[in-house]
Structure 1
Amino acid sequence: MSRELKPYEEYKETEYDWLGPVPNHWNKLSIRNITELSSERNRTRNDLELLSVYREYGVIKKSSRDDNHNVESEDLTNYKLVDKGYLVLNKMKMWQGSLGVSRYKGIVSPAYIVCKLRKDLHSDYINYLLRAAVFKTIYNRLSYGVRVGQWDMRYEDFKNIKLYIPSKEEQDQIVRYLDNKLVKISKFIKNKKKLIELLKEQKQAVINQAVTKGLDPTAKMKPSGIGWLGDIPEDWEVKRIKHFSRVNPSINNKLKKINLEDEVVFLSMDKISDYGEIVQNELKQLKYVKTGYTAFAKGDVVIAKITPCFENGKGACLSKLNTDIGYGTTELVVLRPNKRVISEFLYWITRTSYFRNLGIEVMTGSAGQKRVPVEFVTNFQLGIPDVEEQNKIVKLIEEKISILSKLLEKVNKEIDLMAEYRTSLISNVVTGKVDVRHIEIENLTEDVGESFSDLDDLEVEDNDLLAEGE
């Protein structure tokens, strides 16, 4: 917590084990005292924005997200009206914290609970308060149903929750403080995400350069005859993948040495990463996977062929497979290198952006079920060095990727720390664990309720924020 924040001088106990003590001068009110249930319907209006409630963002315009696949009814007359400052709850997801105070006028699903708020309250403070992570405990206790995921919460239970609320003046100060902090935190996270993209681009550049041009920048070059590839080192040979590997080969000769009761590694798609790592913690008896799955052997290379896994780079070199053979998802293409190429170099070929981008262009199938044709993999061609140089290229790629991966891990950890700090800061401030009344706050010109994507000109001291988060 920030060094500038201190607790209040006097506290009083509350009836909630999840809330703990609150400042002595804060007023106890139930949600019943500050809300009025609203069931006003849309009727024949067609000029109102469709709104949705996210646990991460609160109430937002449905059109602002492309990951909301809930289909609205063709008839919107029964949808509930929402005005600015109304509290909206997704009663089926309240156990996850899906609620918020709307900054928009619009309509929501009739399954949502809509409440008007008392006018003498700061609606942004109520939004911060009821969306604070600490409140999920009581939302879970008040939600019930047949099983998790289908829990429901009734307004009759919700309205009995007790709140401890400061004066309007103090609410205003808390909102100003949190708005100011969250803008800076969002800027910090945005900058770190930009850095992540740059590091990922650098990773890809390392792979592309080493696999297609080699390690010697002074090497004599020759035309490859392939438009996208350009020149290649003079002693490299242009080959198709089918010339130095077998595609979807048989493992029958290896099966003769294994009993049906023996266990083999099983790789579902989630066990394969975007950069070649595999999780080998799932073993299955051969008799259960011998048919209906993709077979592979130690030393093979596997490529995810279905969207979006192919585009994301899912695949792996299986030179360190824990069993001689294995099975996995049917959405894999398997390559078995011959003596002209080592497994690791073959894998990095499939991880170049050229291989992935050209594959995307020829994918077939319906949206969400597109696959790269095996023929594309078979006939993909590029320059191939001798095995000695392949080993050197693989060594360099692995060294540089390792360094960049450690940097990425560090940046992702910084983002996680800042997200945790944001969550704890909000809970601690709105529940009175720290006092912000004395803190001078700079004026913000940005609309905190909107996306923070346009805050490029805001000056933020990243190190100071990290120190607070730690």
Structure 2
Amino acid sequence: MQLPQYPRYDDYVDSGFDWIKNVPGHWTVSKLGSCLSPVSKKNHGDKPLLSITREAGVIERDVEDQDSNHNFIPDDLSNYKLVREGQFAMNKMKAWQGSYGVSEHTGIVSPAYYVFDFAKSFDPRFFNIAIRSKLYVSYFGSASDGVRIGQWDLNKTRMKAIPFLVPPLEEQQAIARFLDDKTDKMDQAVKIKEGQIALLRERKQIIIQEVVTKGLDPDAPMKDSGIDWIGQIPAHWTVDTLGSLLFPVSEKNHPEKTLLSVTREQGVIVRDVEDQESNHNFIPDDLSGYKLVRAGQFAMNKMKAWQGSYGISEHTGIVSPAYFVFSLLKDFDGAFFNTAIRSKLYVTFFGQASDGVRIGQWDLNKTRMKAIPFIYPSVEEQKEIVKHIEFEMAKIDGAIELKERQIEALKEYKATLINAAVTGKIKVI
């Protein structure tokens, strides 16, 4: 998407910075060191906890959300720093990715974070939009030094030297109003398309669940499956249990094999050992105790089976010794078994067969797992069903991909428009 032909200012001067280039002649080229004044007020442990995120800037912290609270929260919060509404706060270890912003809340943040008052006359909304734009995030990246993966310590001296363009206050306010209006419309368009994608993904699940329980022939004679959640099934289909279809195996001493992961989103995949974000679990030096999974076998993270972390493997490799590995006892089309067992219907069964032990961890009960029903037709019909699913999924995936491209185009256009407005490349008043 290209920017429309917005007017430009009459007079431009060289900013002195390659990344910014020319700026309106009546704007001031300042530096953050002269725009911000550091503050550090503590002993406000009664105030709400705040978080500073890349996605949304300064937000109220959801202390009940264990997934987003990786950092320990001490009982004594008197050392936490106060952030007042309208102040600028920053996670200095993640400033390189944009974890900062002007706060709309009053609360407290980690004592390791930075908090600032404005040392000049700023419209807070303008400053927040500008400083969180891609242009300035890049500057914070160049002002940070890597200390470990995901953590880059912001250098105070280099931060103070980051350039910041300051229009007159009335112009700041006009730019903020303009961008609020335009970005709100773009955000709404993105939200609509994300909703359409969610419906398309739900449609995929409906199609899969329908054909793996009812088959492809709408006129086929039906019978009662004896299972409330499944209901009627084709009369010639077999009703079985996982206990009679899966044989547990535990083959170890293959540390040279590829490490695999078992995920909710994709089932069994090759593990990216370089991706620290997805490798929360410790990988020992000695992998001899890890279990071998052969291509075509069924592997499962038993603590997350309730959310669908299992599947037929397309790879030969090793998984955690705490995982379950099974061979199929009967002749199945692997793609059919994998598609069916990973459908929402069967994920629900695994949820019922698991017992909660802690947040995000539900231990699969072996006895109840063995009793989980599984219905299936002949192998020939399984293959036909798989072909039908692949055809239908390809159509829906194409529609999803188109909408994802449209979303990316909108987001890129939004970033380009913001950069152009806050650096004076376009005139919006």
> Which category of TM-score, normalised to the shorter sequence, fits these structures?
0.7 to 0.9
The residue number in structure 2 matching 1:38 is 39
The residue number in structure 2 matching 1:248 is 248
**Matches of 2:322 and 2:404 in 1, distance apart?**
29
Deviation at 1:332, TM superposition (A): 4.5
Asked if the contact 2:50/2:60 (under 8 Å) is kept, the reply is yes
The residue number in structure 1 matching 2:236 is 235
The residue number in structure 1 matching 2:383 is 391
Residue 5 to residue 375, structure 1, CA distance change in 2 (3 Å): farther
Residue 114 to residue 184, structure 1, CA distance change in 2 (3 Å): same
**Matches of 1:64 and 1:172 in 2, distance apart?**
34
Asked if the contact 1:274/1:312 (under 8 Å) is kept, the reply is no
The residue number in structure 2 matching 1:200 is 201
The letter of the residue matching 1:383 is: I
The letter of the residue matching 1:133 is: K
Deviation at 1:277, TM superposition (A): 7.7
**Matches of 2:212 and 2:322 in 1, distance apart?**
25
The letter of the residue matching 1:346 is: F
Deviation at 1:383, TM superposition (A): 2.9
Asked if the contact 1:237/1:383 (under 8 Å) is kept, the reply is yes
Asked if the contact 2:15/2:21 (under 8 Å) is kept, the reply is yes
2:344 is aligned with 1:353: yes
Asked if the contact 1:212/1:382 (under 8 Å) is kept, the reply is no
2:324 is aligned with 1:333: yes
Deviation at 1:217, TM superposition (A): 1.7
> Which structure features the higher share of strand residues?
2
**Matches of 2:350 and 2:307 in 1, distance apart?**
12
**Matches of 1:104 and 1:281 in 2, distance apart?**
39
**Matches of 2:228 and 2:427 in 1, distance apart?**
65
Question: Any idea what the Cα deviations from partners look like across 1:7-59, whole Å, max 9, x if unmatched?
Answer: 4343222232322222222112233433332223345x73x322221122111
- Of the candidates 308, 312, 317, which is equivalent to residue 313 of structure 1? 308
**Matches of 1:135 and 1:237 in 2, distance apart?**
62
The farther-off stretch of 32-41 and 184-193 is: 32-41
Asked if the contact 1:337/1:346 (under 8 Å) is kept, the reply is no
The residue number in structure 1 matching 2:409 is 417
Deviation at 1:376, TM superposition (A): 4.0
Deviation at 1:406, TM superposition (A): 2.3
Deviation at 1:156, TM superposition (A): 5.0
The residue number in structure 2 matching 1:56 is 55
Residue 164 to residue 228, structure 1, CA distance change in 2 (3 Å): closer
**Matches of 1:374 and 1:289 in 2, distance apart?**
28
> Where does 1:260-409 land on structure 2 (aligned, <5 Å)?
266-269=258-261, 274-275=265-266, 278=269, 291-307=288-304, 310-318=305-313, 321=315, 325-330=316-321, 332-364=323-355, 365-409=357-401
Deviation at 1:91, TM superposition (A): 1.9
Asked if the contact 1:224/1:238 (under 8 Å) is kept, the reply is yes
**Matches of 1:332 and 1:404 in 2, distance apart?**
33
Any stretches of 5+ residues in structure 1 without a counterpart? Answer: 283-287, 438-470
RMSD of the alignment, in Å? 3.1
Number of equivalences = 414
The letter of the residue matching 2:193 is: K
Residue 353 to residue 225, structure 1, CA distance change in 2 (3 Å): same
Deviation at 1:385, TM superposition (A): 1.7
Deviation at 1:146, TM superposition (A): 4.0
Deviation at 1:141, TM superposition (A): 3.0
Deviation at 1:333, TM superposition (A): 3.5
Residue 417 to residue 372, structure 1, CA distance change in 2 (3 Å): farther
**Matches of 1:151 and 1:296 in 2, distance apart?**
38
2:7 is aligned with 1:3: no
Asked if the contact 1:275/1:313 (under 8 Å) is kept, the reply is no
Deviation at 1:145, TM superposition (A): 6.0
Residue 304 to residue 413, structure 1, CA distance change in 2 (3 Å): farther
Asked if the contact 2:260/2:317 (under 8 Å) is kept, the reply is no
Secondary structure of 1:268's match? strand
The residue number in structure 1 matching 2:136 is 135
Asked if the contact 2:36/2:120 (under 8 Å) is kept, the reply is no
Residue 343 to residue 164, structure 1, CA distance change in 2 (3 Å): closer
The letter of the residue matching 2:57 is: G
**Matches of 2:96 and 2:41 in 1, distance apart?**
25
Residue 160 to residue 180, structure 1, CA distance change in 2 (3 Å): same
Question: Any idea what the Cα deviations from partners look like across 1:428-469, whole Å, max 9, x if unmatched?
Answer: 2111222212xxxxxxxxxxxxxxxxxxxxxxxxxxxxxxxx
**Matches of 1:97 and 1:178 in 2, distance apart?**
19
Residue 141 to residue 61, structure 1, CA distance change in 2 (3 Å): same
Secondary structure of 2:364's match? coil
Asked if the contact 1:303/1:350 (under 8 Å) is kept, the reply is no
Residue 347 to residue 331, structure 1, CA distance change in 2 (3 Å): farther
**Matches of 1:420 and 1:162 in 2, distance apart?**
23
**Matches of 1:41 and 1:239 in 2, distance apart?**
64
The farther-off stretch of 220-229 and 158-167 is: 158-167
The residue number in structure 2 matching 1:440 is none
Deviation at 1:149, TM superposition (A): 4.1
The residue number in structure 2 matching 1:453 is none
Asked if the contact 1:251/1:297 (under 8 Å) is kept, the reply is no
The letter of the residue matching 1:125 is: F
Asked if the contact 1:59/1:100 (under 8 Å) is kept, the reply is yes
**Matches of 1:293 and 1:326 in 2, distance apart?**
9
